[in-house]
Structure 1
Amino acid sequence: MHRPPTAEAEVAAELAVVRPGLVPRYSAGLPGARAAVLTRLWRALSHEPLPWVAGRDPGPEGLTLRLGDGRRLHGPAPDPYATAAYVTAVRLDEVTYDDPARLMTDLAVAHGTAFATELDHSVASLALSRAGQEPLAAAWPVTDWEWEQRVVDGHPYHPNCRSRPGFSVAEQLAYGPEHGPLVRLGLLPVPAGECLVTGVWPSELRDGERMLVPVHPWQEEHVLKRSCERGVAAHPLMSLRTLALPDGPHVKTALSARLTSSVRDISVYSISLSATLSAFAETLAARLDGLLHFTRTEGAITADSPDLAAVLRESPQMYAVAERGERVVPVAALPTTDLPGSPGWLADFARLALTAGLRLLDLGVALEAHGQNLLVVLSASGAPLRLVYRDLADIRVSPARLARHGIPAPALTGRIVTDDVTTLRRKLFGSLVAGALAGTAGSQAVLREALGTAVRDLPRTPDLAALLEQPLPAKALTLMRLSPGTPGDQWTGLPNPLR
């Protein structure tokens, strides 16, 4: 059967035109990229509640999935917390697959064709991301954006870890943080009367009666289809659409492209709540004895459209004491250091993160504390001192729990407000434990050891009991991509590393 050109081939052809010197390294990196994406996909096939998987049979030689149509899919024993690419091939009946996109195509499940295209993009973009990398310098970065740009492989568990459909090779090289570019953000003038502004919009982003809205250049060209006469240079951070401005603040821009799972626009809803959430976070931080700080939202703006909006936040570096040699490091960048391999370091970090996260959960706030939103302040010697959290748009707030502690509930509405215990625990445990801590540990064995040490001295609350005794919640990322008609998050339970 004739197959259309793959994203791997298309990227190679474009790369030969725009950066021919990278072609050999890109081609050499494809097998490793396929294994990295296949490892993430095998995690999903092994653990998510996919309706066409009828059963799972572990054995001495690995795991066999019984599919609903009678076929058998066999692969290695899964480690749901592994970040190394340990799955190089799986076998569907008698056919061996090392290409995740080809496997998904031949599984022939509902919505699998579109997902296979995304997997194809993920492999090609991951190989491209790795192709331009030089060995990491021995000295740690000084700036916040340099830390962010060390995260090359993207999401540690999502098969679409580097999927960037809609981005040409030239655009990936120009805008992808792992390629180290300097990006020109457009400044689009919009009449003040057409804008919703919360917080304080700075004077340098005003022009008389017009507001200057920062716009990502991809958004300028592909969505707004207009160019901005004025602009400012900025360094892209790991989320790609958030960039560090020269004078320090970070700007989150609308980027209406599907990256990983979601279209990255900025809803009018999130703009309207941003100032309220930022002020609320400051009151919460005061109750945490310096364990955790929240980056302050300075201002947010939308021209009544999720395609034209921006949020200005202070840099997390504000919470490091430079005179003491402190650094603020995104948790996703920790594996690029030698810290997680140090005896006891991961247990100390896990204890700090769980203490802060569980205290906030008890107060009534569940953080989306994955490796991108959560940062750790390190001492000059690398010891974890305290935490910094950014981007409040996806937290969950429980008015009932707040009331139990005498905390006035902020004026919030919509999805962010819930008293459902399962929803609150999923939000925190799925992001912090199954995400940030697991991604830093890199394997079930290491995670088990670190958590086992970290939880010994924690207060035995009902939330901690649920963490210790129940399967660990994690977003069913592949199920979500294969269920385009089902809104919101879907979940699975991973083997609890503490049981």
Structure 2
Amino acid sequence: MTGLAIESSPAAVAEEASLAALLRCCVREVAGPRGQVWHAEPYVLLRVADTLLRARTYGGLALRFAGTPEWLEHGSWQPLSADRLVRLVEAELGGAGRDMSGSGSVSVSGSVSVSVSGPRSGSGSGSGEVNGEFAAQVGASRDAIEALLSARQDTPPPADPWLASEQGLVFGHPFHPSPKARDGAGWLRYAPEAHTSFPLRLLGVRDDVLAGAGDTGPLDRLGTAPRGYTLLPAHPWQLDLLAAELAVPLADGRLIDLGHGARMAVPTSSVRTVYEPGIDRCLKFSLDVRITNCVRKNSWYELAGAVELTRRLGPVFEALTARFPGTRWLPEPGYRSADLGTRLLEGLGVIVRASPWSVCHPGVTPLLSGALAVPGDLPAEPLRWWRAYVEHVALPVLDAYLTHGVVLEPHLQNVLVGVDATGLPVEAIFRDMEGTKLVAGRHDLSGVPERVAEALTYDPAGGWDRVVYCLMVNHLAEIAASLAGPGPMRELWAAAREVLAGYAGSMGWPQPLSDLLAGAPLPAKANLSVRWSRSADRAAGYVPVANPLAVLS
């Protein structure tokens, strides 16, 4: 998502990507809230730890860089490295903090703006904490990008265009300080970005310790379990990570190892979710490793919550599809695991998910939105393509919240766009029940276990923030930047506003949507701050950024 020169060496591209990601975070979360960002054509200038930095930018809210960012040393501009920027961030955030009082915003590169009122709840900037892990995490992310780029040179992408798009996110989240940081050894073997595939491991779970809910029948077609046992597929990396905990149940017969599956499973963009072509299902596994911000596991309440949400969302998506015919979703109708204590219940839990090919109409090709946000070939009619994109992605997301009290999480990895033979968006496919929530007070959750119900809900304000951040900041801003390149973006955002205003009018101009169209600042997730404070990802706060619709209202 950075316009990087892929023809350069893997090390050089990895350095450029790492520097760009951290510098974006500094604009949004460090210098911006302190009023230390200025626009001086053709540069954006910012101050971090009393050091002046500059970079040529384009892309509006997406904040993409042209050329090498620089820092001022004794009156002379020098190339900025990721390591130097890490040291500046450590000095800035590890000190006593700065005065963050004040109000208003500073315009950066046209539609990019950052508030000087400071981060909102949970962001943690300027706390004066010391984080001894931060530099290593940034460095590990850079090393991972280099390893991925090197691996891709020797392995072709999948022939399936959807799977190729899933495996195309080499640089990760553009506003994260360590977008490709991964714990654990042996990760490259299972990395989607390296164009990998591998057979699943198959376990037999003795029926008296089988756990699960909903429809998991497709799993039984992966192999054969002996009488008294039920088949349970497992991610081979996870079995390695759980080897110590599995030793006893494997020894006493509560579990049996049935070897490897007969077919190759293909990892998708989330790393732990794979596509199993033999049963045409996606399987979401636990991985007890930190990938970017979170340890990626299926908590027990998320296993139950996926099935509960799938049951409740069926009628919601029927209504959305009736109003917006291109709307699709990927149900998660069941999960299966082993009842061997919480650690193994979660660690061996697998959620069954529909595949995008199974829900798209014939002639429609699903593509991951995150792959479309990477600069590449432009459509023949960018404005027509963009209008269709906004209509199919944004309108059902807004209607899910406003009409049905459902918070979809439409960030770039949770949405696939179905394109017709000409490449025009004609469908939008929403996935991942873990990020989908119900607005508190609008759904009867009596009878649902308390912890499951808690994980399924957002309060109305928090839910709207999540919708607007994922849709506007994480998603549409990145797609618009790729379409516009270094050119102006006003025409794109004017078209988006027209689409959104048409929907708002049909709904009687509800207040949240009216405020959005009037140019209210947008919430941007504070990834640097949550990583610096070593908080759980769910504790991440937001910083306000300029709304690209503001200049059009």
| TM-score exceeds 0.5 | yes
- Does the CA-based 8 Å contact 2:56-2:69 persist in structure 1? no
> Given that residues 171 and 180 in structure 2 are in contact (C-alpha distance below 8 angstroms), is that contact kept between their aligned partners in structure 1?
yes
Residue number in structure 2 paired with 1:458? 503
1:5-404 correspondence to structure 2 within 5 Å: 28-48=9-29, 54-60=34-40, 61-65=43-47, 67=49, 71-76=50-55, 81-82=61-62, 84-86=64-66, 88-91=68-71, 96=78, 98-106=80-88, 107-108=90-91, 109=94, 110-133=129-152, 142=160, 144-168=162-186, 171-172=187-188, 174-202=189-217, 203-204=220-221, 207-225=226-244, 228-232=257-261, 233-247=264-278, 248-288=280-320, 289=322, 290-303=325-338, 304-305=342-343, 306-322=346-362, 325-335=363-373, 338-339=377-378, 342-344=381-383, 345-362=385-402, 363-401=404-442
Give me the whole-angstrom Cα distance separating, in 2, the residues matched to 1:376 and 1:58. Answer: 36
2:38 maps to a residue whose letter is P
Where structure 2 has 5 or more consecutive residues not aligned to the other structure, the ranges are: 1-5, 95-128, 248-256
- Structure 1 gaps, min length 5: 1-24
Identify the structure with bigger relative contact order (alpha carbons < 8 Å, sequence gap 6+): 2
Question: Contact 2:306–2:333 (CA<8 Å) still a contact in 1?
Answer: no
Change (3 A) 1:250 1:366: same
Contact 1:35 1:89 in 2 (8 A): no
Q: Distance in 2 between matches of 1:294 and 1:441?
A: 24
In structure 2, C-alpha distance between the alignment counterparts of 1:446 and 1:299, rounded to whole Å:
47
Partner deviation per Cα, 1:252-282 (whole Å, 9 max, x = no partner):
1111111111111110011112211112121
Greater CA drift, 112-121 or 363-372: 112-121
Q: Mean Cα displacement is larger for which, 128-137 or 459-468?
A: 128-137
CA 1:190–1:452 in structure 2 vs 1: closer, same or farther (change >3 Å)?
same
Indicate conservation of the 8 Å contact 1:35/1:86, yes or no: no
Task: Say how many residue pairs are matched.
Answer: 460
Where 1:256 maps in the other structure, the secondary structure is: coil
CA distance in 1: counterparts of 2:241 and 2:415, whole angstroms: 31
- Partner Cα separation in structure 1 for residue 291 and residue 56 of structure 2: 29
Cα deviation code 1:279-301 (max 9, x no counterpart): 21211111112342221213212
Q: Report the equivalent of 2:112.
A: none
- Asked if 2 retains the 8 angstrom alpha-carbon contact of 1:148 and 1:237, the reply is yes
> How far apart, CA to CA, are the structure 1 residues paired with 2:337 and 2:469?
30
Are 1:427 and 2:478 matched, yes or no?
no
Say which SS state the counterpart of residue 35 (structure 1) adopts. Answer: helix
On the 8 A contact 2:410/2:471 being kept in 1, the answer is yes
The residue matched to 1:113 in structure 2 has which SS?
A: coil
Q: Is the 8 A contact 2:286 2:350 kept in 1?
A: yes
Q: Deviations over 1:388-434 (max 9, x none)?
A: 1111111221144469xxxx99946113213x332111111111221
Q: Equivalents in 2 of 1:409, 1:93: separation in Å?
A: 63
Length-normalised TM-score, structure 1: 0.83
- Whole-angstrom CA distance in 2 between matches of 1:270 and 1:55: 40
Structure-2-length-normalised TM-score: 0.75
Distance 1:300 1:449, change over 3 A: farther
Q: Secondary structure in 1 aligned to 2:133?
A: helix
SS of residue paired to 1:381: coil
For the Cα contact (< 8 Å) 2:45–2:55, is it kept in 1? yes
In 2, the alpha carbon distance for the partners of 1:87 and 1:366 equals 39
